[in-house]
Structure 1
């Protein structure tokens, strides 16, 4: 029984973690948000919002692409006014990617859209189930195999 539960959870996580699943969600979230922001650049912008200023090399593992891929996406975000480059105070040879004020506002809107999307998806659940799911999902991320 418990092994079946593990398989069921693993299968659901496989769907959530698939690149195509994430790209589809990112495309919906970024729709109409302006030039330079799409399902390809969203992960870089989102990661910068989570981590704060980072070099492309340091951001790459967070995003799951190589440094040059982060750099290309950051250049598009920079052209759109969402990201800027600053000298790294700890390493003058390196640049940090930093969200601009517009990037901060855009990220806040993306987070609002994501929360609304999740809330809408859970709206048909019976009372209490969505809250319990949120509680258990947080616990799973803190205590589970990804901790």
Structure 2
């Protein structure tokens, strides 16, 4: 029984973590956000909002592309005024990618859209189930195998 639950969770996580699943969701969330904000640049904005200023090389593993891929996406975001580059105080040869105020507002809009999308998908759940799921998911991420 326990092993069955583990397999069920692993299968569900496999679906959630698939790049195609994330890309499809990011495409929906970024619709109408402007030319620079799309399913390719969303992960860069999101990661910078979570972690603060980082170099393209440091951001690459979180975004799931190599440093040059992050740099290309960052250039689009910079041209749109959503991020800027500043010298890395620890390495004069490197630059940090930093969200601008406009970039911060874009991230807030994207997070609001994601929260609304999630709540819409849970609207048919019985009262209390969504709250319990949120608590259990939070616990799983803090205490589970990804902690």
**TM-score over 0.5 for the pair:** yes
Partner of 1:131: 131
- Looking at structure 2, the residues matched to 65 and 146 of structure 1 have their Cα atoms a distance apart, in angstroms, of 21
Tell me the SS of whatever aligns to 1:146.
Answer: coil
| Matched residue SS, 2:146 | coil
State the alpha-carbon separation in 2 of the partners of residues 62 and 25 from structure 1: 17
Where does the alignment leave 5 or more consecutive residues of structure 1 unmatched?
none
The CA distance in 1 between the partners of 2:78 and 2:104, in whole Å, is: 13
Partner of 1:4: 4
2:96 aligns with: 96
Deviation at 1:63, TM superposition (A): 1.3
Partner of 1:78: 78
Separation of aligned partners in 2, 1:31 and 1:64? 21
Alpha-carbon distance in structure 2 between the residues aligned to 1:41 and 1:104 = 14
Deviation sequence 1:52-100 (CA, Å, 0-9, x none):
0000011111112111111011011111111111111121111000001
In structure 1, the partner of 2:56 is 56
- Where structure 2 has 5 or more consecutive residues not aligned to the other structure, the ranges are none
Deviating runs (4+, > 4 A) in structure 1?
none
What RMSD in Å do the two structures reach over aligned CA positions? 0.6
**Distance in 2 (alpha carbons) for counterparts of 1:4 and 1:122:** 24
